[in-house]
């Protein structure tokens, strides 16, 4: 990332631009003041890539470690209202909510 702007040129330099020197280090050695935006862009992109990777890695670890088997809510088959996932009776129509023991927790609809 060898991109830079020359902010201030030394008094001894003539025709002072970014093309005068090949690298920002050469410009600094000759006394020019530079803004190294190439280094900033490179570091910002590296940070963003690492942050995105770390976010998804931590998210995946938390999904595996704190896995939930029962969803938060399920729908009553009679009145179609949503009740808590482990409820056996609807709080709206007071009907019994039955689910087969083999599929307990899988037929619930997420809200």
Query: How does pLDDT run along the chain (111 residues), one tens digit per residue?
Result: 678 877 887 766 666 766 777 787 888 787 888 888 888 899 999 999 999 999 999 999 988 888 765 557 888 989 999 988 788 899 999 988 876 454 444 455 454
Q: Determine the Cα–Cα distance for residues 86 and 101; give it in Å rounded to an integer.
A: 12
Q: How many CB atoms lie within 10 A of CB 24?
A: 22
pTM of the model: 0.48
Taking the C-alpha atoms of residue 71 and residue 64, their distance in angstroms, rounded to an integer, is 15
Cα 20 to the center of its chain, rounded Å: 41
Contacts of 110 (CB under 8 A, 6+ apart): 71, 72, 73
Task: Express the helix, strand and coil content of the chain in percent, nearest 5 each.
Answer: 35, 15, 50
């Amino acid at each position: 990332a060898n991109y830079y702007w020359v902010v201030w040129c030394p008094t001894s330099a003539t025709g002072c631009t970014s093309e005068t020197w090949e690298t920002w280090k050469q410009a600094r050695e000759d006394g020019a003041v530079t803004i190294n935006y190439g280094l900033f862009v490179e570091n910002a992109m590296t940070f963003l890539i690492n942050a995105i990777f770390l976010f998804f890695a931590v998210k995946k670890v938390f999904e595996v470690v704190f896995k939930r088997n029962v969803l938060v809510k399920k729908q009553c088959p009679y009145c179609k209202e949503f009740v808590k996932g482990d409820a056996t009776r609807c709080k709206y129509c007071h009907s019994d909510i039955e689910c087969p023991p083999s599929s307990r927790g899988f037929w619930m609809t997420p809200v």
